[in-house]
């Protein structure tokens, strides 16, 4: 999947925060004592979920699978140093093809894996998610966009 697709899904900060809080709501009552955020996309939702569930122990695993707009080979740049357990929560922004999720499931087989967004190929690999996204749709997340001035129609925008 690349930006060559003409299907785009734009996410504002407010929409992302709202969806992530809904994900945290789904996790209420489960006994998590630590979070591993999948860097970079999982850092923001991990912080929101940590706040909402009062989880104080966080680590990150740094995995590169995209080069801006093209999915490439999976590379672990930094591993997380938390023990695998049923009380460990792995958080990412999106599951796409499922390649990152498969690697995380191998590394942390007992942990729960959650994402804010899920595409059909990766959806079976997550325990919880909030929003379905079509496989051929590119998600523009708020940290990848900037607000810009838009000329009024009368000015020939």
Query: Cβ distance 65 to 74 under 8 Å?
Result: yes
59, 79, 93, 136: which is the annotated catalytic residue? Answer: 93
Is 92 annotated among the ligand-binding residues? yes
Is 40 annotated among the ligand-binding residues? yes
Partners of residue 39 on adjacent β-strands: 62
96, 127, 132, 136: which is the annotated catalytic residue? Answer: 96
Is 94 annotated among the ligand-binding residues? yes
Is 97 annotated among the ligand-binding residues? yes
Q: Is 96 a catalytic residue?
A: yes
Is 138 annotated among the ligand-binding residues? yes
Strand stretches in the chain, DSSP E? 7-10, 34-39, 58-67, 70-78, 88-95, 112-118, 131-132, 137-140
Is 144 annotated among the ligand-binding residues? no
59, 69, 79, 92: which is the annotated catalytic residue? Answer: 92
Is 41 annotated among the ligand-binding residues? yes
Query: Cβ distance 87 to 55 under 8 Å?
Result: no
For residue 125, the tally of other CB atoms under 10 A from its CB is 18
Query: Cβ distance 10 to 110 under 8 Å?
Result: no
Q: Is 93 a catalytic residue?
A: yes
Is 154 annotated among the ligand-binding residues? no
Known catalytic residues are 92-93, 96
Q: Which residues are annotated as a binding site for GMP?
A: 96-100, 138-139
Q: Which residues are annotated as a binding site for Mg(2+)?
A: 93
Q: Which residues are annotated as a binding site?
A: 40-41, 92-100, 138-139
Q: Which residues are annotated as a binding site for xanthine?
A: 96, 139
């Amino acid at each position: 999947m690349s930006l060559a697709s003409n299907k785009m899904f734009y996410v504002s900060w407010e929409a992302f925060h709202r969806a992530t809080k809904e994900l945290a709501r789904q996790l209420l009552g489960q006994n998590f004592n630590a979070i591993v955020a999948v860097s970079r996309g999982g850092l923001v939702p991990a912080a929101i979920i940590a706040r909402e569930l009062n989880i104080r122990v966080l680590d990150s695993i740094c995995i590169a699978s995209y080069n801006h707009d093209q999915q490439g080979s999976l590379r672990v740049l930094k591993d997380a140093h938390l023990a695998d357990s049923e009380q460990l929560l792995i958080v990412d922004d999106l599951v796409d093809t499922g390649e990152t999720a498969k690697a995380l499931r191998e590394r942390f087989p007992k942990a729960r894996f959650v994402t804010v967004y899920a595409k059909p190929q990766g959806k079976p690999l997550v325990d919880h998610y909030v929003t379905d996204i079509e496989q051929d749709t590119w998600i523009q997340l708020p940290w990848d966009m900037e607000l810009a001035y838009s000329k009024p129609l009368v000015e020939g925008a």
